[in-house]
Amino acid sequence: ALAERTNLAGVRHILLVLSGKGGVGKSTISTELALALRSAGKRVGILDVDLCGPSIPRMLRVQDSAVHQCDSGWVPVFVGQDKAIALMSIGFLLERPDDAVVWRGPKKNALIKQFVTDVAWGDLDFLIVDTPPGTSDEHISTVEALRPYQLLGAILVTTPQ
Amino acid sequence: LAAQLSLSLTECPGTGSAQAGRAAACQGCPNQGLCAAGAAGPDPAEAAELRARLRAVRHTVLVLSGKGGVGKSTFSALLAHGLAADETKQVALLDIDICGPSIPKMMGLEGEQVHQSGSGWSPVYVEENLGVMSVGFLLSSPDDAVIWRGPKKNGLIKQFLRDVDWGEVDYLIVDTPPGTSDEHLSIVQYLSATHIDGAVIVTTPQEVSLQDVRKEINFCRKVKLPIIGVVENMSGFVCPKCKNESQIFPPTTGGAEKMCQNLNVSLLGKVPLDPQIGKSCDRGQSFLAEAPESPATLSYRNIIQRIQEYCEQHHFQEEKIM
């Protein structure tokens, strides 16, 4: 419980990027939003909870990075030009980039909880949470795990059709 | 210390499988205890029920991706229309995207409901020889969100297979949501009661899509699902005014063609972007019928024919063996 409070305690605003529909640009918007906020001098983190199709590492050119552990949990990978955006994604935990993560709900839920409570985010102005399409396990678990914290709100992405 | 999570190809064996709770992949899963203590294997009565129900299905094709928004549902709908153009063939389209069911709208069936008869749930018929089933037909309003965890989704998928009275079917096409999770594991598991001809995998040309699609190809290999081939959608755009071709989603890493070469799978075809496709889908009309002269229609028709040939050849080989 102490670790939980420490790891997200320094995060001022948490934003969810949602859609329902796939392929509309959630990960793209999450990435651009993070970069823009960073440009504006904010401290930013991205949590990629798309476990089956994690796109953020490639978008930030860090597909080959690894995650390390510290006393308070997992250390996020620092990305961006000044290496100042903190990123956590299942993409970093795969042995090979083409490995399929073929998990049913309970196992996905367990990892999402770990991502929320065990990543040492430090002090952030914004934590952007990128999600997969749908309204299922990942979404329910993410919202449940983030409930005790300052959830600013959700941005919904769509295309015109 | 680098976090060493062995996630490669770790796969849930299925809560109903004999390996439930005991496979290597079960380590660390919160359900492990429940599964290991539970039923020793799949319910034989259930498997028999599914087998009986699906006995009259000749060919089954899964439409998969890994990536969202690449045109799985569009392709599934057009494949169904294309196959049903032969009035002697009975076609069934099953939509197992529980959270985002697109098929009812694309087939012009929004607002339709499922009726029950003595022999089970009736599919909704678009044509006499084209029946459709989707969770979309079970919602009281099209905007109702289905916010279900995996097990409940699996339950509905099983019902779709067990309780829908499809009758005699030449082609069962199954449209799936993006990913490699509950729905995908379940459909492969439940359909093992019948036989799946194979999967058609849909992508768009850019690397961000391909990287998810490679995972899907690995999923198919892992569960021993034959891959009929890959379809590359949104592959180029020809301006109707100046006829100039542009790559809206540039294939920065060689597109589906390169990926198929590298992974030794068949490229069934490339379909260009045609704004009429989206319009037809929104209006619930068959794009093939509305735009018969479009290069996209030609591509789709070629692809559909290749799929048909694959299925017929496969069946012929099976019969030879038997």
**Closest CA–CA distance from residue B316 to any residue of chain A (Å):** 32
Show residues of chain A in contact with B70, CB under 8 Å.
22-23
The whole-number pLDDT of residue B31 equals 67
Task: For residue B306, report the phi and psi dihedrals to the nearest 5 degrees.
Answer: -60, -40
Name the domain count of chain A. 1
Q: Within a domain: residue A6?
A: no
Is residue B258 within 8 angstroms of chain A, CB to CB?
no
Q: Scanning every residue of chain B, which has its alpha carbon at the shortest distance from the alpha carbon of A111? A: B29
Q: Where in the sequence is the domain holding A87, given as residue range(s)? A: 11-157
CATH of the domain at A138: 3.40.50.300
Which residue in A21, A68, A133 is closest to B1 by CB distance? A68
In this prediction, residue B266 carries a pLDDT of 98
B275's torsion region: left (phi>0), alpha (psi -120 to 50) or beta?
alpha
Angle at B79 between CA B104 and CA B296, to 5 degrees: 105
CA distance B123 to B221: 31
Residue B43 banded pLDDT, cuts 50, 70, 90: confident
The two three-digit tokens of residue A36, written as one number: 């823009």
> What are the residue boundaries of the structural domains of chain B, listed by start?
40-320
Asked if the C-beta of B218 comes within 8 angstroms of chain A's C-beta atoms, the answer is: yes
CB < 8 Å to B66, chain A: 52-53, 100
CATH class, B40-320 region: alpha beta
Facing A53 at nearest CB: one of B8, B149, B212: B212
The two three-digit tokens of residue B292, written as one number: 């018969």
Q: How far is B98 from chain A (nearest CA, A)?
A: 9
Residue A83 lies in a domain: yes
* Chain B (260-299) residues lying within 8 Å, Cβ to Cβ, of chain A: 278, 281-282
Cβ-Cβ pairs closer than 8 A, A with B, add up to 170
Shortest CA gap A66–chain B (Å) = 7
Alpha-helical (H) ranges within B264-294 are 275-283, 287-290
Query: Which residues 166-185 on chain B approach chain A with CB closer than 8 angstroms?
Result: 177-182, 184-185
What mean pLDDT value characterizes chain A? 91
Task: Kindly state the average pLDDT of the residues B137-144.
Answer: 90
Q: List B residues 185-204 in contact with A (Cβ-Cβ < 8 A).
A: 185, 204
Cβ B12–A107 below 8 Å, yes or no? yes
Mean pLDDT computed over A27-49: 96
How much is the average pLDDT of A41-52? 96
- Mean pLDDT over B119-148 rounds to 93
User: How many other C-beta atoms lie within 10 A of the C-beta of residue B225?
Assistant: 21
Contact B219 A100 (CB under 8 A): yes
Q: Which residues of A touch B157 (CB under 8 A)?
A: none
Is residue A1 included in any domain, yes or no? no
A89-93, B10-14, B171-175, B237-241: the lowest-pLDDT one: B10-14
A61 → chain B, closest CA residue = B208
d(CA B294, CA B297) in angstroms, rounded, equals 5
Question: What is the per-residue pLDDT across B74-127, written as a single tens digit (0 to 9) for each?
Answer: 999 999 999 999 999 999 999 999 999 999 999 999 999 999 989 999 999 999
pLDDT level of residue A21 (50, 70, 90 thresholds):
very high
pLDDT at B66 over 70: yes
Task: Report the 10 Å Cβ neighbour count for A129.
Answer: 24
| Residue A1 pLDDT > 60 | no
- Beta strand pairing status for B267-270 and B91-95? unpaired
Chain B segment 95-154 residues within 8 A of A by beta carbon are 98-100, 145-151, 153
Residue B157: pLDDT over 60: yes
User: H or E stretch including B307?
Assistant: helix B295-321
Euclidean distance between CA atoms B233 and B299, whole angstroms: 10
B-chain CB neighbours of A74 within 8 Å are: 3
Evaluate if residue B185 carries a pLDDT over 80.
Answer: yes
User: Does residue B237 carry a pLDDT above 90?
Assistant: yes
Chain B residues in contact with A21 by the CB 8 A cut-off are 68-69, 100
Nearest to A74 among B3, B29, B215 (CB): B3
Residues with Cβ < 8 Å from B244, sequence gap 6 or more?
A: B238
Instruction: Convert the pLDDT of each residue in B3-34 to its tens digit.
Output: 444 443 356 676 666 677 777 777 766 667 66
Residue of A nearest to B31 (CA): A106
Among the ranges given (B11-15, B162-166, B265-269, B276-280), the one the predictor scored with the smallest mean pLDDT: B11-15
CA distance B67 to chain A (A): 7
Nearest CA in chain A to B11: A102
Q: What is the mean pLDDT of chain B?
A: 88
Strand partners, A86: A45, A78
d(CA B282, CA A93): 39
CB-CB neighbours of B77 under 10 Å: 31
CB contact under 8 A, B145 and A135: yes
Q: Provide, as residue numbers in chain B, all residues whose Cβ is less than 8 Å from the Cβ of A103.
A: 10-12, 29, 181
Q: Rounded distance, CA B85 to CA B68, Å?
A: 28
Length of chain A equals 161
Strand boundaries in B20-99, DSSP class E:
57-64, 91-95
The span from the first CA to the last CA of chain A, in angstroms, equals: 45
Rounded distance, CA B267 to CA B138, Å? 36
For an interface test with A, the pick among B6, B212, B274 (most A C-beta atoms closer than 10 Å) comes out as B212
Cα-based angle A133, A49, B137 (whole degrees, multiple of 5)? 25
ipTM: 0.88
Q: How confident is the model at residue A51 (pLDDT cuts 50, 70, 90)?
A: very high
The verdict on B5 touching A (C-beta cutoff 8 Å) is yes
Of the spans A47-61, B83-97, B180-194, which averages the highest pLDDT?
B83-97
d(CA B262, CA B265): 8
Contact B219 A102 (CB under 8 A): yes
Nearest-CA distance from B168 to chain A in Å? 32
CA distance B14 to B26: 10
Give the pLDDT of residue B163: 93
CA B191 to chain centre: 12
Q: Quote the pLDDT of residue B1.
A: 34
Is A105 in contact with B151 (CB distance < 8 Å)? yes
Assigned domain for A3 exists: no
